[in-house]
Amino acid sequence: MPEAKTEPIATRQAYGDALVELGERDENVVALDADLAVSTQSIKFGKKFPERFFNCGAAEAGMMSMACGLAATGKVPYASTFAVFATGRSYDQIRLGIAHNQLKVRIGASHGGVSLGEDGASHQMIEDIALMRVLPHMRVVVPADYNQAYRAVIESYERFEGPIYMRFGRPSTPIVYEEIPETLGSGTDVLREGKDISIIATGHMVWRALDAAETLAREDGVEAEVLNVVTVKPLDTDAVIESLAKTGVGVTAEEHRVAGGLADAVREAAAEQHPVPIFALGLGDEFGVSGTAEACMEHFNLTASGIIEQAREALLKKPIVSHPPIHGGHG
Amino acid sequence: MHLKPVPDPAPPLDDGRKASVAELERYATVLRINCVRMLAVAKSGHLDSSLSAADVVTALYYRVLRHDPRNPSWPERDRFVLCKGHAAPIQYAALAEHGYFPHQDLMGLRKIGSHLQGHPDMTRTPGVEVSTGSLGQGLSMCVGICLALRLDELDDNVQVFGVLSDGDIQEGETWEGVAAAAHFEVPNLTAVIDYNHLQTDGTTEEVMDTGDVRAKFEAFGWDAIEIDGHDMGAIVEALERSRTLRRPAAIVCQTKKGRGVSFMEGRFGFHGKPPSQEQAEQALEELETRYREQTDALGSDTPPPDSGPEIPAPADSTD
């Protein structure tokens, strides 16, 4: 493993860096891109291993089917493009060729969410987690920072024979993990312990969740527990339910539609196993807009203060007793 | 033109002989009979699309492909990809005839618990290289296979054959694959287009005219020829020639949907419709008559196929 990064840097940079390490490790690792190799950073692999790098041009559907053919013939393909094209444009190709066949294909989707910025709604992918989460056999991974993203890519080669969708971001974001962490084990890390409320976040919202927890402690005297869900599917329901059982109320935070995203994953688990109020921060029934990355995040309230607002609302709905006593007994 | 040696197909016949054109024509009848019986039992599926591809599939499995049914994952096997996955019955018939799985499995087509799905499924059926059924994906899958074979330094000897339909030609993704094959200069890809001119809603000319398919492939930088897709001699020659080329090769086969069954041949209205019991019986009568004629013409010294038209008639195939 390389040295952990300490300064803000984009998760997509980790994709390119880790791909090079994988390329050195195993000549069966191949990479494909669809004319966005500089943006996705797969270009780093392409420069080092040109014979194993296939730029498919602006032809994402064909790229995914080629990845299927490569994997069916013993290679480990990493196929990258923007999240919007990696999922929406080529859904049917991923569905039959990759997910159905349970092939070891890794989809490296960069520029997920509204922090893609200026290109606007046509390019800001806010449904990819939902699309990939409903696909049978597909694992969905959304790293929180560079260090976790690096390890996620390495582990995507080392573990799991089935397909994996990995979402990376465009802008530089602060470092959450001081070391390069073990990542795809349970897929959920408790980054901060607390007893009052669970803030369950993924991707670019994780560092904001930690900021929000600091403020809640300082201003409200609320001890928030912060969970980073790097593997949105399959969700580590034990970790999520354990936290919700302790705190009795939750907030989810994601740079994605609430429908079908992390919010729904958490609510599905909680509804069955431990129903408590869970407020969701994310995009509603709306598309993205043009602006700088940070302006777009602020436009949709995808900020620490957005999380704090949700947390304060949620705390008002928190049941007085999170485990109601069983009535009718006389001890 | 760059030529490369043609490896011997293995195993073409148990005694190591290459099947003659006349023998291949009889094998094609065997596969057609299998298809009619399968569809009559399944009461579901695409019979006419299977019949139009029967001659090409026969030429591949009985003569051109290097494959080993005892070892379906042999790394140096040629790859067969049925891009037009709805013609699955014709591939299943060929696989069963070669012993990839027991012959009686054919009667489970499209039924719960059977490994013979409505469209080819690599996770269930031995001999299926990749799952298909969504038109347009197959050729790009073939390109991916070719690139992997190149990295394994097997592309000199291992040929990848994709069989496409009119629907595949209409799908945009096919042309992504056509461009990629030319761009990456894959030397070992043969695309066979089963151009039968009929699709679900009408003729291709009515629904979405695919025009001069051969010229389109040529414009993308492929070697492209057009043949009668029911002329077994021409099919074998074109397939064997394609593997000698050092560039992707398209063989546009002018075919007739439902070929071999007089009341279906070139007729609209049978796509995706299984034959009724009466239609199946009529089709089988025609095909079995042809089988006997072909057997007689071959003379007594030619060994009959392992099974021939001996699949038990279905007991429950009343419609």
Q: What is the pTM of this model?
A: 0.93
Cβ proximity of A49 and A55 under 8 Å = no
Residue A47 neighbours by CB distance under 10 Å:
12
Give the C-alpha separation, B100 to A60, whole Å: 34
Tell me the per-residue pLDDT of A179-236, one tens digit each, with 9 for 90 and over: 999 999 899 999 999 999 999 999 999 999 999 999 999 999 999 999 999 999 999 9
- Angle A307-A206-A85 from CA coordinates, rounded to 5°: 105
For B154-204, write each residue's pLDDT tens digit.
999 999 999 999 999 999 999 999 999 999 999 999 999 999 999 999 999
Structure token digits, residue A84: 């919007």
* A51 in active site: no
Report the CATH architecture of A11-167.
3-Layer(aba) Sandwich (3.40)
Cα-based distances in Å from B57 to A283, B50, B100 = 51, 9, 15
Environment class of residue B153 by beta-carbon count within 10 Å: exposed (0-12), middle (13-18) or buried (19+)?
A: exposed
Confidence of residue B317 (pLDDT cuts 50, 70, 90): very low
Contact A102 B123 (CB under 8 A): yes
Mean confidence (pLDDT) of chain B = 91
Q: Residues B106, B92: contact at Cβ < 8 Å? A: yes
Q: Which of A158-167, A208-217, A289-298, A321-330 has the lowest mean pLDDT?
A: A321-330
Quick check: helix, strand or coil at residue A175? Answer: coil
Q: How confident is the model at residue B18 (pLDDT cuts 50, 70, 90)?
A: confident
- Topology classification of domain A188-316: Rossmann fold (3.40.50)
The CATH superfamily holding the domain B21-298 is: Thiamin diphosphate (ThDP)-binding fold, Pyr/PP domains (3.40.50.970)
Q: Which residues pair with B161 in a beta bridge?
A: B80, B190
Label each residue of A104-167 as H, E or C: CCEEEEECECHHHCCCCCCCCECCHHHHHHCCCCCEEECCCCHHHHHHHHHHHHHCCCCCEEEE
Query: Cα(A315)–Cα(A247) distance, rounded to whole angstroms?
Result: 10
Give the per-residue pLDDT at B303. 55
Distance in Å, alpha carbon of B182 to nearest chain A alpha carbon: 12
Domain boundaries, chain A: 11-167, 188-316
Dihedral pair phi/psi, residue A192, rounded to 5°: -150, 130
Q: Give the closest-approach CA distance of B196 to chain A in angstroms.
A: 25
With an 8 Å Cβ cutoff, are B180 and A56 in contact? yes
The token pair at B242 is 């394609």
Contact map slice: A 26-65 vs B, CB within 8 A: 27-28, 30, 51-52, 54, 56-57, 59, 61-65
Q: In a mutagenesis test of the A interface, which of B123, B147, B186, B189 is the best target, namely the one with the most A β-carbons within 10 Å?
A: B147
**Interchain proximity B143–A92, CB inside 8 Å:** no
Distance, in angstroms, between B142 CA and closest chain A CA? 6
Residues of A with CB below 8 A from B143's CB?
62, 65-66, 69
Domain spans in chain B, listed from the N-terminal domain onward = 21-298
A-B Cβ pairs (cutoff 8 Å, strict): 112
CB atoms within 10 A of CB A3: 8
Please write the tens of the pLDDT for every residue from B64-76.
999 999 999 999 9
A76 in contact with B, Cβ within 8 Å: no
User: Does the pLDDT value for residue B318 go beyond 90?
Assistant: no
Q: Which of A7, A21, A60, A214 is catalytic?
A: A60
The amino acid sitting at B42 is: A
User: Does residue B104 contact residue B143 with C-beta atoms inside 8 Å?
Assistant: no
- Buried/exposed B161-189: b ≥16 CB within 10 Å, e otherwise: bbbbbbbbbbbebbbbbbbbbbbbebbbb
Residues forming beta bridges with residue A156, ordered by sequence position: none
Q: Compute the radius of gyration of chain B from its Cα atoms.
A: 18
Return the half-sphere exposure (C-beta side, CA atoms, 13 A cut-off) of residue B295: 13
What's the average model confidence in pLDDT over B10-27? 76
Query: Is A188-316 in the same CATH topology as A11-167?
Result: yes
Partner-chain contact A66 B144, CB within 8 Å: yes
∠ at Cα A258 (A254, A263), nearest 5°?
Answer: 70
pLDDT-derived band at B299 (thresholds 50, 70, 90) equals confident
- CB of A248 closer than 8 Å to CB of A195: no
